Structure 1
Amino acid sequence: MCKGISYLPSSCLEKAKEMRVMLSHLAETHHKHKILDGKAVHDLETLLNNISGLQAFRGFLLSEFSEENLEFWLACEDYRLSPSNLQKTKSSSIYGQFINPDAPQEVNLDAETRKALLSVTDSPCANTFNKAQERIYNLMAKDSFPRFLRSPYCMQAIKAF
C-alpha cells in the first residue's frame, strides 16, 4: 500500500523535482525549437556545428539565393583556423570573392566594416575578419535562421534522423 510522498527519502523528492523541471523545460523547448540530431536547434551556432544541419541550412540559403553569407562565414572560419603562412593567400581569396564591390558573392557589410577590411588587405592577421564575420553571423541569426526554422528544409533535416 502506498503511504504517500511524505514517506519517500528527501533525495528521491529532490530528484523528482529536478526531473519535473527538466521535463517541463524539454516540453517547452520542443514546442519552441526544432530538434536535430538529438539537440534542440534554438540558435544558429547549434545548427552550424551540426553537419546535417549545416547542409540543410545551405540548401535553404541556395533556394533563397542568399548562400553568400554562409559561404563567407565558413571562409572566415577556415581563415581563422589557418596557419599564418596561408593567411595572406586566403585573405586575398576572401576579399576577391566576398568583400570587393564587384565580388561574385558580395556580402552585405556596412561601409565602416568594409572600409576597415579594405585598409588591411596587405597585412592580414588572425582576427582580420572577426568583426565582419560577426556582423554576417548576426544577420543570418536574425534574418535567415528564423525563416529556415519554418522551412521544409528544416523539416527534411529533422526527418532524416
Structure 2
Amino acid sequence: MCRGLAALPTTCLKSAKDIKPKQVFLRFLIQKHDPRAADQKQIKEKTDTAAAKSIPTPAEVKQWKKSFNHVMSSQTGRTVFTNFLRSEFSEENMEFWVACEDYKKSEPSKLASRAQQLYQQHVEADAPSEVNLDAVTREETRRNLENACPTCFNDAQKMIYILMERDSYRRFLASKLIQDLCQTQISRWD
C-alpha cells in the first residue's frame, strides 16, 4: 500500500471500497473526449447530460442483456453503449445512427443540406467520422443525395445497426463495464 493510503483511517478505506463500482460506472459514462464536428459535439452534450441524470436500474440492465434493441430503445442504454464504443474507438457508428435518426426528423427544406453534411461527415471515403460501409451501400447512399428524402440513409443506417449488433454488442455484454454495472446493481439493491 502506498504511504498516502496508509495514513488514512481504516474506515475511510472501507468506505472507498464500497463506492468504487459506482464511481467506475459514472466516470466511464461522463469521460471527456475531443469531438470532431459540431454534430458530434451536440451528441456528446446530450450523452453527458443523460449520463449525469440517470444510472440504469437493474431492470434496464437486465433488458439490455436480452437484446440489442433494448439497448438502442433506451436513452440510458444508448449512452452507456456509446461510451463503450468510445473505449473501442468506434463511437462513429452510434454517432452516425443517431444522426440518421435526427436527419429523418428534419424539415423538408433542410433535407438536402443536412444530407450533404451527414454524407461528408460519416459516409464519404476518408470522412472525419467514416463508418464501415461496403462499396455498394456507400455508392447507393451517394446517389440518394441527388433526391434527398428522409429515407436516403436507411440502408447505410441499417448496415451500421447490424454491425453494432453483431460485433460491438457482443463485446459490450462481456465487457468489464457491464460486469461492474451488474455488480453495482446487485450491491445497490441488497
TM superposition score normalised by structure 1: 0.72
Residue of structure 1 in register with 2:172 after alignment: 148
* Alpha carbons of structure 1 residues 73 and 36: separation in structure 2 relative to 1, 3 Å: farther
**Preserved contact between residue 57 and residue 153 of structure 1 (Cα < 8 Å):** no
Q: Does 1:110 align with 2:163?
A: no
Which residue in 1 is equivalent to 2:79? 55
The question of whether the paired residues in 2 share the 8 Å contact of 1:56 and 1:154 is answered with: no
1:79 alignment partner in structure 2 = 103
Q: 1: CA distance between counterparts of 2:79 and 2:181? A: 9
Instruction: State the match for 2:67 in structure 1.
Output: 43
Question: Aligned partners of 1:45, 1:83: CA distance in 2, in Å?
Answer: 27
Aligned identity (percent) is 39
Alignment correspondent of 2:156:
132
Deviation at 1:153, TM superposition (A): 2.2
Residues 1:69 and 2:99 are matched in the alignment: no
SS across alignment from 1:127 = coil
What is the total number of aligned residue pairs between the two structures?
127
C-alpha distance after superposition, 1:120-151 (max 9, x if no partner): 32321111011111111001000000110111
Letter of the structure 2 residue corresponding to residue 80 of structure 1: K
| 1:57, distance to aligned residue in structure 2 (A) | 0.5
TM-score, length basis structure 2: 0.61
Which residue pairs with 1:99 in the alignment? 123
Report if aligned partners of 1:56, 1:157 keep a CA contact under 8 Å in 2.
no
Cα offset, 1:86, TM superposition: 2.0
Instruction: Rate the CA distance shift 1:145–1:113 in 2: closer, same or farther, 3 A.
Output: same
Report SS of the residue matched to 2:146. coil
One-letter amino acid of the counterpart of residue 113, structure 1: T
**2: CA distance between counterparts of 1:40 and 1:68?**
24
Q: Could you tell me how far 1:157 is from its partner in structure 2? A: 4.5
- Aligned-residue Cα RMSD (Å) equals 1.9
> Structure 1's 47 and 95: CA in aligned 2 closer, same or farther, altered over 3 A?
same
Counterpart secondary structure, 2:127: coil
Query: In 2, distance between residues paired with 1:36 and 1:52?
Result: 12
Q: Which has the higher contact order (CA 8 A, sep 6+)?
A: 1
Contact 1:36 1:53 in 2 (8 A): no
Q: Point out the structure with the larger helix share.
A: 2
AA in 2 matched with 1:129: F
Unmatched 5+ stretches in structure 2? 1-57
